[in-house]
Amino acid sequence: DRKSGSSELSQQSVGGAEPMKGSGRVEQAILQSSPILEALGNAKTVYNNNSSRFGKFIQLQFNEKGFIEGGRILDYLLEKNRVVRQNPAERNYHIFYALLCGADEEMKKKFQLYDPGKYHYLNQSGCVGDASIDDAADFERVKAGMVTMEFSEENMVDVFQVLAGILHLGNIRFVTAGGAQIEGRKILQLVANLLSLDVYQLEDALTKKMMVMRGEEITTPLDVNQASDSRDSMAMALYATTFRWVLKKINSRIHGQESFLFIGVLDIFGFENFQVNRFEQFNINFANEKLQEYFNKHIFSLEQHEYNKEGIQWVEIDWVDNTECLDLIEKKLGILDLLDEESRFPKGTDQTFLAKLHSAHANNSYYVKPKVSGTTFGIKHYAGEVMYDTGGLLEKNRDTFRDDILNALKDSRSDFIYDLFEHMEPSTSDQQRGGRSRLRKKATVSSQFKDSLHSLMSTLSQANPYFVRCIKPNGSKVSNRFEPDLVMSQLRYSGMMETVRIRRAGFPVRRLFEDFIFRYRVLARGIAGSSRDVAGSVAKQFEPSEVHWQLGKTKIFLREHLETVLEKEREKQLEAVARIIQAWMIGFLTRKRFLRTKRGIVLIQKIYRGHFYRKEYLKIRRAVLVFQKFARGWSARKLYHRLLEEKRLEEERLREEERQRKEEKQRELERLEEERKTQEVEEMRARLAEEERQKTAAQELKKRRSEEESKRAVAKAREIERVRKRQEEAEREARKRAEESTRMAEEAALAAAEEAERLAAEQSAMLEAEAEQAAISQIAELDSALRAAEEDSDDEETVSLAPPGPGSELAERRMSELPPGIEEKTIEGYLTMKAGSKWKRRWCVLKFGTFMYFRGKQDFVRAGWMEKKGGGTGTLSRRNWKKRFFVLRDDRKLSYYEKDEEAAKPLGVINIAEAKDILDHGTKKANSFGIEVVGRVYHIIAESDEDCRAWVSVLKKMQQSSDVEVKLMKSESMNSRNAVGTLDISNIESCTPLESVSKPTAFTIITADRVFQFIADTMGDMNAWVTALQPTGLGDTVTGPSAVIENGWLIKESFSKKLRTKRYFVLNDQGLDYYKSTDTSVPPVGQILINSLCTVYLSEDATGKDASHSSFIVNSRRRFYKLTAKSHADAQRWVHSILDVIDCRPPIITPTEKLIDDIKDAKPKEIEAIYRINPILCYTSSQLKSSLLPLPYGNVQSQKAKTRGYGTLQEEALRIFNSLQDQESSGDPIPVIQGILQTCFDLPQLRNEVYCQLIKQTNTTQLDSIAVLRNWQVLACMCSSFLPARKFLRYLRFHLKRYQDSFPHTEMVKFSNFCTEAVKRTRQRDYPPSREEIIACLGRRELTAVVHCFGGGTCKISINSSTTAGEVVHKLSLGIGVMDSKNRFALFEQCGDLSKAIEDRAVIADVLAKFERYEAHGINEGGRRWRLFFKLFCFLDINVSADSLESGFMFEQAYNDVIQGRFPTAATQTLVRLAALRIQHDVGDYKSGAWM
C-alpha cells in the first residue's frame, strides 16, 4: 500500500528504453533517491502507511536522442507541523524511526539514541511502530541511497546528528519559575552538543525574547507555552532546512546539461477528511482543491474547447466548478486572509477568528456554519463537506521561529548547520546606523504554504498534463479486499465520474486524418481523394448513419463503439494477410529444418569413416615404431663407444699443450724483466741531459725577450708621435674645407630663394608658433588651477610614477578595490611618451584601474637583468660573469640578451621544460641560483635576494605547471612590478587631446602634481586612450549622470596648512564632489571617492545637538577629511547619507579572500594547484606591504582603542605580522603572544586578518623551523580565545585538516590537533588569556584552577579555555554528592570580605585572567589575593540531614555570615548560645576539668 511507489514505477517505465552510454547511471541515481526522499518526506497516516507529506515534482530531462541525461526534483508544501505533533494513530516521518531502529551501537552511543517511545515528538499519537514497516531495513536503504548520491561520510553523519538533535530537542520540558525555565539541564546540554550550540545561548533563545526598541535591546521572559512553541519552531526549521539541503544534494548529483525536453512526475498527498480535521488537513485540502481546479480546466474546459475549435456538433455538459470554493479560501477577506490577520493580532484567539469567519462568510454557499456553536467551521469541497476544528489554529499558523533562534543556529560551530541557515534573513533587521531600522513582515505558515502552492501551479501550467489517480481498495490497508462504497466515493470526489460521463456523451477517440489513414490503411484499399475524404469514406463503410463519428477540421472524432468495430475489422484484414505470410514462413522453416538434418547425417558419416581408418593407421604405426626403436638403439651404442675413445685421446693432447705453454710463459717473463731494468737506466740519463739543455735555453730566451721588448717600446713611442702629428694636420685641413663649403652653400641658398616662398615659410611658422603657444598657455592654466586646488587640499589621492620598487603592490591593491566589472575595461598598445627632453616608445596597458607603461610588449612571464657565468670558448671567458637581460616566455624557454631591446637577438636559450633541476644556491655567492640541464649547469646571480627567490619560484612553477597554469602566470606578469611606471586612474584630473598641428595624435594626462604627454600611432588609438582614461571612466559601471543624494555648503579643513575653506559638496552614488560655488555644471574642484571600506563618524569636538556647528570625519583610502556642517542635525544627516552610499558600494575583495572562496568550492587536485600557483597563501620571510583582507579605513573609534594608542587597522595588521616574524629571535614568546591577543580583543576587526596571517605563516614544509613553531603556538592561543568569522573558520578547519593529512606524526601536528579541538568548544571571551593560560596552551594541556570553600578546604580542578562556572559547579556538586539538593551552589570571586557570585555562563579562564589584572594593578583588599570560592548561592531547603556534607556547608556559611554581620544583630544571649554551639561543633561536648 505504498502510494509513493506509483511515482517510482512511473520513473522506471519512462526510463525503460535502451539507454545510451551514461544515461543508465543517471536513471539509477534518480531511482536511488526515492528511499531517501520517502524516509524524509513520507509518514504513516490513518489511510496510508507511506503517505507523501510533501509535493514531489520530478523532472526527467531528455536529450535530442530521447535518452535520460539528467533530472531535477522540486519540493512543495512540506508538512513541517508533523515533526512536532501528529494526529492519533499516525506517525512522524519515517526517518526518525529508521534512525532509532537501524543505527549501529556506535552511533546510538554517540547520539544517545533510545527507543522511539521515549521521545515526545514520536509518542504523542500513541503509534510508534507498524508491523508492515521494517524501519531497520529502511535505514539501510537510506544509507545505500546516500552512497549512490555521493554523500560523503561526513555529510551522512551531519544529517543523522541533526535528526538526533531534533528528537532530543522535543524532550526539553519547561516549568514556570519567574517565566519559563528548562527542567533538567542534562537534556539541554545534550541538544547543545548535538547541534554544536552554546548551551547558554540555546537556553536564552528558547526561554527569552529579545526586542530592539529605540536602539536598545530589551529581553523579556517567555511563558511555558511560548517556550514550547519556540522549541517546536526550532525543530521544524531544522527539519525543513535539512530536507531542502538533502534535496539540493540529490539534485547536484542527478543534474544534467540543458535538456531538449523533460517529463515531470508529481507525487503529492491526497484529499483528507478525518473525524477531527485540523490546520494540517485544511492546508492539504486547499492544495487538492487547487489541483482539482487544474484538473477541471484540462479535462472539462479544454475538452469542450477542442470540440468547438474543430466544429463538432454536440451537446455541452455541465460540470462542477470549484472556483467559488477557492475564492472562499484564498481571495481577499477569505479564510486565509482572516487567518493571517488574526494571527498577527497580539490578542487574537481561535474564538475571535471563528467569529470573524461566521460574520464574513455565513451567507457563502460553500461555507458551513454549524448549527450548534462550538469550535468548528466547514467548507464544501469538491470531494464533499469537511468540518475543521479551530483549536490551536492560530498558534500553528504563527511562525514562532524568532530571530533569536535563527541567530543562535547561525552561531553554531557546525558548518553544516550554519550552511542550512546561511541565506535565511531575520524578520527584523539589525539596528541600522543612525538609529533607523527596517522591518520585514514575517510570513505565516499558511502564507508560506500558499506561496509554495502557487509556485507548484505555475510549474504545472507550463506542462502538458496526464493524470494518474490512486484509488484505495479498502480502508483497512490489507490486501485482497475490495470495498465498493469506498472506491465509489473516491471516484466521485476525484472527478472521475464526471470524466466518464463526458467521455460517454462525447467523442473520446480523436485522430488526425493522416494518423487515422495510416492506422486503418488496410480498410482503405481502392479509396482515393484527400485525407479528410478517405477518412470519412472508411468510417462511412461501417457506420453509414454518421451518429458515432464526425469529421472535424483536422481530426476525425469517434465514439468507442465505432472504434471497436474498426479495430475488429482491421484485425480481420491483418489476420488474413498474416495467414499467407505464415504459410510461406512455415514452408521456409520446414525446408530449412530438413536441410539442417541432412547436413547432420552427412557429417556423422564423415566422422565415422575417419575414425575407422585412423584406428587402422595407428595399429600399423605402432608396429613400425617397434622396429625403429631397436634399430636406433644398436646404432647409438656403436656411436657411443667410438666417441668415448676419441675423448680420451683429446684429453691427453690438451694436457701436453698446457705444460708447454707454462714453460714458454716463464721464459718470456724473465726476458721482459731484464729489458725493463735496462730501459730505466737509459731514461734516467736522458732526463738529466734534457733538464740541463732546457735550463740553458730558458736563460737565452729570457735575455732575447728583454732586448726585443725595449726595442718595441721605443718604436711604438716614435710611431704614436708620428700618428698624432698627422691627425692634427688632417683635422686642421678638414675644418678649413668644411667652413669654406658651408659659406658657399649659404650664399647660394640665399641667392636662389624667392620672395613668395619666403613669405609662405614665414606664415607657416607663425601659425605653428601660435598653436604651440596656445597649448603652452592651456597647460599653464591647468597647472595654475592644479596649484590652487593643491593649496586647498582638494585632491584625495597621490600618484606613484616612479618605477615600482621591490614589493610594490599598487596594481594589486587597486584591483581589489575596484567594483565588479572593472576587468572588462582593458586596453593596451604602443605610445610614444615624453620623458624629460626625450620621447621614448613604451608599451602601455590600462588594466584593473591602473595605467602602466613598460619598456616593451609584455609577452613574457618574467624578465630582468642578471649576471651569468660563462660564455665563449676560451678558458678566461668561461670564468667571467657577464650581465645579461633574461626573458622567460610561456613556451618554457629562458632566453638571455646583451640588451633589453625588442629587436635584440638572443645570445642563448635554456629550455626549462628539459631542465633536470632548479638549484636554490648555484654558487657560494649571494643571490645566486643554478639551472641544471643535460651536460651543464648554468650559474646565475640575481640583483637581490627577493629577486633571486622570485626567479627560482617562477622557474620551478614553470617546470611543474600545466599549459593553462602557464598562461595564467603570463597574464599575471602584466602588473606594476614589471612596469617602468604606474598611474592610478582615480588620480587623473583630465585627459584631453593636445591639438597640436605638428603632433595631431598627441594627448595629455593631468594629475595633481604632474602633466604627461603621449603620442599615439593613429587618431583612432588616441581617441580610444582618451575615452578610457577620462575621470568619469574610473572603472565604475555608471551610465549617465549620478543622482544627487545630498548637497550643501560644508567647511573643509586642511590639516597640512591649517586652512579652512568653504566648499559646496554634492553627494552621489560614487562619492563626494565639491565645488567653489553652487554651479555644478563646471568640473568639481575635487572629489572624495567612496568605496565599501570608507568610514564616517561624528567628530569628538561636536558639542551636541545644541551646538551651532558640528563636524564629522570621512576616512577614504589615502587620507581623512574633516567637514563641518551648520548644525548637529545637518551633520547627522550627512553622516547617514554617506553611510547609505558606503553600504551600497560593492564589497572589496582582496586576492587572499578570493583564493579562500576558490578553495572552498575547489576539488583536491585544484586546491594543490591553487597553493602552487599562489604563494600569497604560503609562508614568507618577507614583510607584508598591505593586509591580507580588506580593512576599514581610518582609526578605530572605540574608547579602549584610543586609550591604548592604536593606529589604523592597516597599520596594526602589518605591526602584528612583523611581531610574528620577530618571534624567532625572541627568547620569551609570551609577551609577544599577549600583545597580539590584547590587540585582537581591543580591535575585533583584526581577528580574521590575524587568523589569515597565522594560517599563511604555518602553511609550510619547514617542520623544524623555530619561527613556524612560534606561529603554531600563537595559533593555538588564538583558537582558545576567540573564533574568526564563519568563512575564515571554515578555512581554518580546512588548513588544520590538510596539515594533519600531509604531515602526520610530527610535532606541528600536535598543535594542529590541539587547535582542532579548541575551535570546537571556544566561547565568547571578555578578557585575553592570562599568562598561566598561555603557558598551558603552549604545552597543549589543560589549566589547573584552585577552588576554596569554608573551613580552609581547597580543591584543584582541571579546566580548559572554555570551561564555564556552571560546569565547575556541576563537577563539584557531583563530587560532594549534592546534585539532588534543592539548594543552589555557585562559584564566587572572593578577596577578603569582598565576594561576588559568578554567573554560570562565565568562562573560568576569564575570571583567572581578571584576577591576574587585579593583582597587576593592586586591586585587592588588605593585600589579600583573589580566589575562587565555592558556597551556597541560594537557601531553598534547610531541612537537610545533620550528618550530610551539605549540612556542614550550610552551617559554615551561616556562621560566616553571622561573624561578618550580614544578618540583623541578635540579643547578646543568642550570640553567646551560637558561640557555644560553634565551640561544641569544633571540640565536642564539655568535659570535666576542661579549660572552658
DSSP 1153-1192: HHHHHHHHH--HHHHHHHHHH-GGGS--SSPPSS-SS---
pLDDT tens column, 354-388: 898 988 898 888 999 888 878 899 999 887 889 99
Residue 1038 near residue 1146, CB atoms below 8 Å: no
Rounded Cα distance, 1404 and 1343, in Å: 10
> How many CB atoms are located within 10 Å of the residue 1291 CB?
24
Taken in order 1029, 1031, 1035, 1040, is the CA torsion positive or negative? negative
Rounded Cα distance, 1395 and 1349, in Å: 13
Instruction: Tell how strand 1427-1434 and strand 1343-1348 pair up.
Output: parallel
Residue linked to cell 559646496? 1064
Say which DSSP state 298 is in: I
Please list, in sequence order, all residues whose beta carbon lies within 8 angstroms of the beta carbon of residue 755, skipping any fewer than 6 positions away: none
> How many CB atoms are located within 10 Å of the residue 1021 CB?
18
Residue 1127 near residue 1051, CB atoms below 8 Å: no
**3 state DSSP class of 868:** strand
pLDDT for the residue 1274: 93
**3 state DSSP class of 1361:** coil
Per-residue pLDDT at 433 exceeds 50: no
Closest listed residue to residue 230, CA positions, set 206, 211, 208, 210: 206
For 130-144, 700-714, 869-883, 1108-1122, which range has the lowest pLDDT when averaged over its residues?
Answer: 869-883
Please list, in sequence order, all residues whose beta carbon lies within 8 angstroms of the beta carbon of residue 53, skipping any fewer than 6 positions away: 41, 42, 43, 78, 79, 82, 93, 269
Report CA-CA distances (Å) from 1274 to 65, 1244, 1269, 1403.
Answer: 61, 17, 9, 20
pLDDT tens column, 248-304: 999 888 887 665 677 888 877 777 787 888 887 888 888 888 888 887 777 776 777
Average pLDDT, the chain: 81
pLDDT tens column, 969-985: 766 666 666 677 788 77
pLDDT for the residue 604: 94
**3 state DSSP class of 195:** coil
Closest listed residue to residue 857, CA positions, set 947, 973, 1013: 973
pLDDT for the residue 1281: 92
Residue linked to cell 484484414? 573
pLDDT tens column, 623-640: 999 999 999 999 999 999
Report CA-CA distances (Å) from 1031 to 984, 1147, 1375.
Answer: 11, 22, 75
Closest listed residue to residue 1015, CA positions, set 778, 847, 830: 830
Rounded-to-10 torsion of CA 1020, 1023, 1024, 1030: 180
Q: How far apart are the first and last CA of the chain?
A: 91
Residues facing 865 on adjacent strands:
885
Angle formed at CA 318 by CA 317 and CA 323, multiple of 5 degrees: 140
Closest listed residue to residue 867, CA positions, set 928, 766, 941: 941
List, as one string, the DSSP characters of 1409-1443. HHHHHHHHHT-SSTTPPPEEEEEEEE-------TT
Rounded Cα distance, 1426 and 446, in Å: 58
Residue type, 224: V
Rounded Cα distance, 220 and 1350, in Å: 37
pLDDT for the residue 119: 93
Say which DSSP state 908 is in: E
pLDDT for the residue 581: 93
pLDDT for the residue 625: 92
Instruction: Tell how strand 555-558 and strand 862-869 pair up.
Output: unpaired
**3 state DSSP class of 349:** coil
Please list, in sequence order, all residues whose beta carbon lies within 8 angstroms of the beta carbon of residue 1039, skipping any fewer than 6 positions away: none
Say which DSSP state 861 is in: S
Work out the widest C-alpha separation in the chain, in whole angstroms: 156
Per-residue pLDDT at 1166 exceeds 90: no
Residues facing 893 on adjacent strands:
911
Most confident listed range (79-83, 181-185, 441-445, 1359-1363):
1359-1363
Q: Is the pTM of this model over 0.85?
A: no
The number of C-alpha atoms within 13 Å of 354 and in the hemisphere containing its C-beta is 19
Please list, in sequence order, all residues whose beta carbon lies within 8 angstroms of the beta carbon of residue 983, skipping any fewer than 6 positions away: 799, 800, 801, 850, 851, 852, 1005, 1007, 1012
> How many CB atoms are located within 10 Å of the residue 719 CB?
10
Closest listed residue to residue 343, CA positions, set 398, 305, 295: 398
* pLDDT-derived band at 816, boundaries 50, 70, 90: very low
pLDDT for the residue 14: 45
Rounded Cα distance, 141 and 136, in Å: 9
The residue that leads in pLDDT, 884 or 958, is 884
What are the start-end ranges of the H helices in 311-434? 323-330, 335-344, 350-361, 393-397, 403-410, 415-421
Residue percentage of the chain with pLDDT more than 90: 20
List, as one string, the DSSP characters of 107-159. HHHHHT---GGG-HHHHSSS----TT--HHHHHHHHHHHHHHTT--HHHHHHH
Residue 224 near residue 174, CB atoms below 8 Å: yes
Q: Is residue 1342 exposed (0-12), middle (13-18) or buried (19+ Cβ within 10 Å)?
A: middle
Per-residue pLDDT at 1061 exceeds 50: yes
Report CA-CA distances (Å) from 1417 to 284, 363, 1407, 1411, 1412.
Answer: 68, 81, 15, 10, 9
pLDDT for the residue 747: 60
The residue that leads in pLDDT, 748 or 1448, is 1448
* pLDDT-derived band at 1304, boundaries 50, 70, 90: confident
pLDDT tens column, 991-1022: 888 777 778 888 888 776 677 888 998 888 88
pLDDT for the residue 693: 84
Please list, in sequence order, all residues whose beta carbon lies within 8 angstroms of the beta carbon of residue 974, skipping any fewer than 6 positions away: 845, 847, 852, 858
Which triple of cell numbers denotes residue 516?
487515422
> How many CB atoms are located within 10 Å of the residue 973 CB?
18
**3 state DSSP class of 807:** coil
pLDDT tens column, 522-578: 888 888 888 888 888 888 888 888 888 888 889 988 888 888 889 999 999 899 999
Residues facing 388 on adjacent strands:
277, 377
Beta strands in 1338-1472 (DSSP E): 1343-1348, 1354-1359, 1384-1391, 1394-1397, 1427-1434
pLDDT for the residue 1071: 85
When pLDDT is averaged across residues 1108-1127 and rounded to a whole number, the result is: 83
* pLDDT-derived band at 746, boundaries 50, 70, 90: low
Closest listed residue to residue 334, CA positions, set 257, 370, 386, 282: 282
The residue that leads in pLDDT, 621 or 28, is 621
Rounded Cα distance, 821 and 819, in Å: 6
**3 state DSSP class of 212:** strand
Rounded Cα distance, 210 and 1127, in Å: 35
When pLDDT is averaged across residues 91-111 and rounded to a whole number, the result is: 92
pLDDT for the residue 1237: 93
Residue 1268 near residue 1260, CB atoms below 8 Å: yes
Residue 1404 near residue 1359, CB atoms below 8 Å: yes
Which triple of cell numbers denotes residue 1112?
564629522
Residue percentage of the chain with pLDDT more than 70: 85
Say which DSSP state 18 is in: P
When pLDDT is averaged across residues 1278-1287 and rounded to a whole number, the result is: 91
